Amino acid sequence: MEPGDILFSHINSLKHIGKTAYYDGEHPLYHGMNLLLLRTTNEESARFLFYQLNTSRFLHRCQVLANQAVNQASINTRELKGITLHKPSIKEQIKIADFISLLDNRIATQIKIIEKLESLIRGLITDVNSGRIAQCESVYLRDLLTERHEKNTNNYEVCSVSVSQGVINQIDYLGRSFAAKEVLHYNVVNCGDIVYTKSPTGEFPYGIVKRSDITKPVAVSPLYGVYRPINDYVGKYLHLYFKSPINAKNYLHKLIQKGAKNTINITNQHFLDNKILIPEKGWLENIVNFAAAIEMKIATENKVLQTLQQQKDYLLSKMFI
């Protein structure tokens, strides 16, 4: 491969068909048979072409043209050559590619800023577990949480629980409702309550534990455990503690018995039968307050990131015309 070469995914799942990667020549690289190698007359026009191939309209054209098999789709070179692209002079191509490259670099920097802030929050709980904060004690979760038995007799809105967004309206999160026709038997979650999902997902093979920050009561699946913390600082600390996949796994694996179909067998009360390290009151409040300040900063930086990505998406949307 040569600097400026573009790899094009022509055999893949339908949603990934047409994805591209730009080779800058920094490291030796070899590609598989599922990728086509595209090469232009010069490296400058290659950068412009790469961005043009990353537009949503081009990807949509590829998906429309792709031949779909059972598990994968494909697009051949004849079909690819039949897609018409419009391009300005090489001088304009270089200007446009340079500007989008600057946006890419700014987006990458913004992502690093957010990741650094998120690592600060993780570090707070790591300090507790490592013993660097001496004023801690090992406490059973049943001494910090009480199961809430309230049912959804008032027909509150149904929510899901996600790793990244916590307790969130199910339709907003999943695009449609997956709730049963009758939801009066669903569990009620009040603001500040802790929810345990008992559903394996990604880095959380035993389920996720989240605090609800929705200000009004909502309903969740009757399969979930819902708990009221002894105070809000404890609830916020537990939310931070269980954001860590390692902490969640270490706490839950001693309690869980998996069924034949990888189902998780644990009662709501048994979930409380293990211990965690928790700081004494002064340290607890400082950790929670500091984490809250960082999370506000992360929210601000995420808005900046979203604006940058929208600017790039807008520019790319104009490149296929």
pLDDT by position in tens, the chain (length 321):
677 778 877 777 767 777 888 777 766 666 666 777 777 777 667 888 888 888 878 887 887 777 766 567 777 778 777 777 777 888 888 888 889 899 999 999 999 999 999 999 888 888 888 878 778 899 999 999 999 999 999 999 999 999 988 999 888 877 777 677 788 999 999 999 999 998 888 899 999 999 999 999 999 999 999 999 999 999 999 999 999 999 999 999 989 876 556 667 889 999 999 999 999 999 999 999 999 999 999 999 999 999 999 998 888 877 655
Residue partners of 92: CB distance under 8 A and separation at least 6: none
- The residue type found at 288 is V
- The pLDDT of residue 168 is 92
**Which DSSP state fits 295?**
H
- The pLDDT of residue 28 is 63
Domain boundaries, the chain: 6-87, 89-135+280-321, 137-279
Structure tokens at 110: 């913004």
Predicted TM-score of the model (pTM): 0.76
- The residue type found at 87 is K
CATH topology of domain 137-279: Adenine-n6-DNA-methyltransferase TaqI; Chain A, domain 2 (3.90.220)
Residue partners of 59: CB distance under 8 A and separation at least 6: 17, 18, 19
Helices (H), 87-196: 90-130, 170-174
Q: First-to-last CA distance in the chain? A: 30
For residue 209, CA distances in Å to 12, 91, 198, 252, 271 come to 35, 54, 9, 10, 11
CATH topology of domain 89-135+280-321: Helix Hairpins (1.10.287)
Number of helices and strands in the chain (H, E): 8, 18
Structure tokens at 128: 């507790």
E strands, the chain, in order = 6-9, 11-12, 20-22, 35-38, 67-68, 73-74, 136-140, 145-147, 159-162, 166-169, 187-189, 194-196, 209-211, 218-220, 225-229, 257-258, 264-265, 275-279
